[in-house]
Amino acid sequence: YPLDQRIEDKRRGIGRQKYPYVAWTLTAVMIGVFIYESVVNWRAQGTPFSFHPVVNPMLGPSTSALIHVGARFVPCMKQVDGLPIEFSFPCLNDTANPPDSLCSISEVCGFGGFHGGVPNQWFRFITPIFLHAGLIHLGLNMFAQLFVSAQIEREMGSISFFILYFAAGIFGNVLGANFALLGSPSTGASGAIFGTVAVEWIDLIFHWKIVFRPVRRLVLLIVDLVFGVAMGYIPFIDNFAHLGGLFMGLFAAMMLYPIISTTKRHKTITLICRVIAIPLPVILFVVLTRNFYTGHPYNACSGCRYLSCFPSNANNQ
């Protein structure tokens, strides 16, 4: 339809559809999954939230419970050097400090254990998207999802939004599995949500002369990015998932987001960027997945873990 009408609709926030069905559905599913997490912890420890042996600051299940329901936890996904398959972890029902009830890695990881006797739960690249470390974590993410991500879905349509959301979420977990702390489980839809926030960066960059008060919007996006990175230092949350989701979201948005070009030069630049954005995500997925299963990422970047945690004697592994 006419260019002037597209620009006007853009300024009024009118997109391809009226209702964000995928964002609403995902929110409902994630709330249901968190209830399930709480029930698992309640059955094991007698309370929906972990208070012993340590308090979960996000008001959520214990570490073992989060691992058991599908958090990203590298020892459940592959054999880790220096961590034998016979190594024991605190059981779900353990509340003592030090733990007095120990279980095998296979038992803590759940899902029927390891087929073939070797850690192989690849689906943990996906399941953490639906899990949350606690009530506070869930509330913050669902707020962002219902207000930021939902608007992105209205603008780009449910199919494109679905592809972007899960590409960002999964890539964030692939990146985190490579470089975050091996012994720390990670959960949350934050990486996927950061992917939808990346759409706003693409929108601002390519529609600088169209959007309302672009400088103010840029400042808000920077503040949002700083806040998200700060959140990544909280236990069970991972900055690699955040930044990996943002990074992948930029590529996916470049390919899928409807960009309005008002000049031939702008249209040419947009086309070139779209073409460049097509192969890079595939290459990154392949390289990082292969690196996760065949290499030892710390050899390449021993200090990368500190992007998600402060240096201490407790996080050397």
Angle, helices 264-277 vs 239-256, to 10°: value is: 130
Tell me which of 50, 149, 190, 308 is the catalytic residue: 190
Does the annotation mark 190 as catalytic? yes
**Given 132, 137, 207, 242, which residue is catalytic?**
242
> Would you call 242 a catalytic residue per the annotation?
yes
DSSP letters, the chain, are: --HHHHHHHHHTT--S-S--HHHHHHHHHHHHHHHHHHHHHHHHHSSSS--SSS--TTS---HHHHHHHT-B-HHHHSPPTT--TT-EEE-TT---SS-S-EEEHHHHH-TT--TTSS---GGGGTGGGG--SSHHHHHHHHHHIIIIIHHHHHHH-HHHHHHHHHHHHHHHHHHHHHHS-TTS-B--SHHHHHHHHHHHHHHHHHTTTTSSSHHHHHHHHHHHHHHHHHHTTSTT--HHHHHHHHHHHHHHHHHHS-----SHHHHHHHHHHHHHHTHHHHHHHHHHHHHHHHS-GGGT-TTGGGGTS---GGG--
Q: Which residues are catalytic?
A: 190, 242
